[in-house]
Amino acid sequence: MASNYSDLRGKTALITGCNRGIGKDVLTKFASQGVNIVACVRTASNEFSAYLNTLCENYDVNIEIVFVDLANPESITSAMREIFQKKIQIDILINNAGVAFGGLFSMTSMAKLREVFEINFFSQVQITQYVVKWMRKRGCGVIINMASIAGIDGMEGFTAYGSSKAAMVYLTKMLSKELAMSGIRVNAVAPGLINTELVKQLDNKAVNKMVGQSSLGRLGTPDEIAELVVFLSSDSSRFIDGQIIRIDGGM
Ligand SMILES: NC(=O)c1ccc[n+]([C@@H]2O[C@H](COP(=O)([O-])OP(=O)(O)OC[C@H]3O[C@@H](n4cnc5c(N)ncnc54)[C@H](OP(=O)(O)O)[C@@H]3O)[C@@H](O)[C@H]2O)c1
């Protein structure tokens, strides 16, 4: 779908985990709308760097790679310092990166729970604290958190992942209230099952069952999630705040 959001042109979006999967499609769609990007990634292959160069040439945008390991708070601090020192102003923050872990409650160790929360929740909070400070000074901004239907529905076998996403859901609603007066909107996207590497890590039988029971009967595509993220970042969604928007093919 080729929506056009002219108000986004010239803005800058920070996206975590955009070297592949949903984040890469979000990055691509933003670039196609003339949005400059700070690509916060843990890894960047030569192929990915070449891809970014093509986007820059095709859409006349700037894309800056900033390396960060979300499992390491010090790495986040130095990444955010780098962005600050380069005087990059962030208009849009997309807290996208995440890891999946399927495991029943009784089989989820505390170490695994902490590991998943570190990446899916604490790291995003840390980044958001930096970015909010900058956005507040300018009195505007948009934040979009990548939640999941696992953080809304109680799904068996998703103790760590679902709880970390539920925390993102709460953070979104709470932040929208705290930040509205500063001109910052906060929403979350809650995808169902989307065709990326993340889904391939899940139990195939369980995935097929869930997809089979959904009304549209198929996996979603990263492009479909990116379309929603870009809409929520634009002025077209200016009256939407504090919402957790399911995009799940009717699960
Ligand atoms: N796919 C789905 O069905 C689905 C459903 C609901 C919600 N979501 C959410 O959507 C978001 C994107 O998922 P996806 O499907 O695109 O997954 P994906 O293809 O597995 O991509 C995950 C991204 O997160 C990054 N990441 C993971 N651990 C990191 C770390 N320690 N430091 C920095 N980056 C890290 C990965 O970087 P590396 O390449 O370096 O590993 C990668 O860019 C996640 O928050 C996920 O929970 C996905």
pLDDT digits (tens, 9 = 90+) for 26-49: 999 999 999 999 999 999 999 999
Question: Is 161 annotated in the active site?
Answer: yes
**What is the average pLDDT across 148-160?**
94
pLDDT digits (tens, 9 = 90+) for 219-235: 999 999 999 999 999 99
pLDDT of residue 2: 60
Three-class HEC string of the chain = CCCCCHHHCCCEEEEECCCCHHHHHHHHHHHHCCCEEEEEECCCCHHHHHHHHHHHHHHCCCEEEEECCCCCHHHHHHHHHHHHHCCCCCCEEEECCCCCCCECHHHCCHHHHHHHHHHHHHHHHHHHHHHHHHHHHHCCEEEEEECCHHHCCCCCCEHHHHHHHHHHHHHHHHHHHHHHHHCEEEEEEEECCECCHHHHCCCHHHHHHHHHHCCCCCCECHHHHHHHHHHHHCHHHCCCCCCEEEECCCC
Q: What's the whole-model pTM score? A: 0.98
Phi-psi region of 250 (alpha: psi -120 to 50; beta: other; left: phi over 0): left
User: In this predicted model, which residue has the larger pLDDT, 2 or 127?
Assistant: 127
Percent of the chain whose pLDDT exceeds 90: 94
pLDDT of residue 99: 97
Q: Which atom of ligand 1 is nearest to the CA of 149?
A: 6
Expressed in angstroms and rounded, the spacing between residue 137 Cα and the centre of ligand 1 is 30
Q: Where are the domains of the chain?
A: 9-191+222-246
Expressed in angstroms and rounded, the spacing between residue 251 Cα and the centre of ligand 1 is 21
pLDDT of residue 151: 97
- Does residue 187 surpass a pLDDT of 60? yes
- Does residue 72 surpass a pLDDT of 90? yes
pLDDT of residue 79: 98
**What is the average pLDDT across 20-25?**
98
- CATH homologous superfamily of 9-191+222-246: NAD(P)-binding Rossmann-like Domain (3.40.50.720)
**What is the average pLDDT across 141-170?**
96
pLDDT of residue 238: 98
194 lines ligand 1 (CB under 6 A): yes
pLDDT digits (tens, 9 = 90+) for 156-184: 899 999 999 999 999 999 999 999 999 99
Expressed in angstroms and rounded, the spacing between residue 196 Cα and the centre of ligand 1 is 9
| 72-75: long-range pairs with CB below 8 Å, 24+ | 73/122, 73/123, 73/126
- Does residue 1 surpass a pLDDT of 60? no
Structure tokens at 167: 């925390």
- Of 49, 94, 99, 248, the residue with max ligand 1 atoms within 8 A of its CB, to mutate for a pocket test, comes to 99
